[in-house]
Copies of this chain bind each other. A is one copy, B any other.
Amino acid sequence: MAADEAPSKARLRLWLRLLKVTRKVEGRLRERLRTEFATTLPRFDVMSALNRHDQGLKMSELSGVLKVSNGNVTGIVDRLVEEGLVIRGAVEGDRRANLVRLTRKGHEHFAVQAREHEAWIDEMLADMPANESENLAHRLDALVQALEEPESKK
């Protein structure tokens, strides 16, 4: 084993594994959300973000939090508005922006979905002991940190 070949391959394997787990879990969540609540993961994500920010979020803040494009959020919010789950309100003193918030109905729907969502995750990751979960989460967090600052080493 070369002192140089191994690390790269090991990291590639790690990445492929990460991808596999994530896709698998995402797929299950997607299916459950569809069959049990007639909704989708992106919609759940948007509602989750709005639930954490009860004072509302601007479209750009929403796309920032979710790490998706601006135009993407427009479409998802449009549909949620049609169904009366969220509302677009005016921003005091800035007619360009608007503040998106959950409606009462949106809050109620989300509460139910979030409870189930947590249970599904718990079930899917059941083989993972709590302390090991924490451990893994920390390592992954370190990775996220490193990725956040691409070239801050100026």
Contact of A133 among B11, B25, B67, B121 (CB under 8 A): B11
Q: How far is the CA of A152 from the CA of B11 in the complex (A)?
A: 31
Contact, CB under 8 Å: A141 / B17: yes
Closest partner residue, chain B, to A29 (CB atom)? B15
Whether A125 contacts B24 in the complex (CB less than 8 A), given A118-B8, A130-B7, A139-B136, comes out as no
**Size class of the contact patch on chain A:** 35 or more
Contacts of A83 in B (CB 8 A): none
Chain A binding site: helix, strand, loop or mixed by DSSP? helix
Contact of A142 among B20, B23, B27, B127 (CB under 8 A): B127
Contact, CB under 8 Å: A6 / B136: no
Q: How far is the CA of A13 from the CA of B124 in the complex (A)?
A: 13
Contacts of A143 in B (CB 8 A): 21, 125, 127-128
Whether A67 contacts B23 in the complex (CB less than 8 A), given A122-B8, A143-B128, comes out as yes
Q: How far is the CA of A7 from the CA of B129 in the complex (A)?
A: 7
Contact, CB under 8 Å: A140 / B15: no
Q: For the A-B complex with A24-B148, A128-B143 known, give 5 more contacts whose Cβ atoms are closer than 8 Å.
A: A12-B121, A14-B133, A19-B22, A23-B67, A25-B147
Residues of A within 8 A of B (CB): 6-15, 17-28, 67, 118-119, 121-122, 124-134, 136-137, 139-144, 146-148
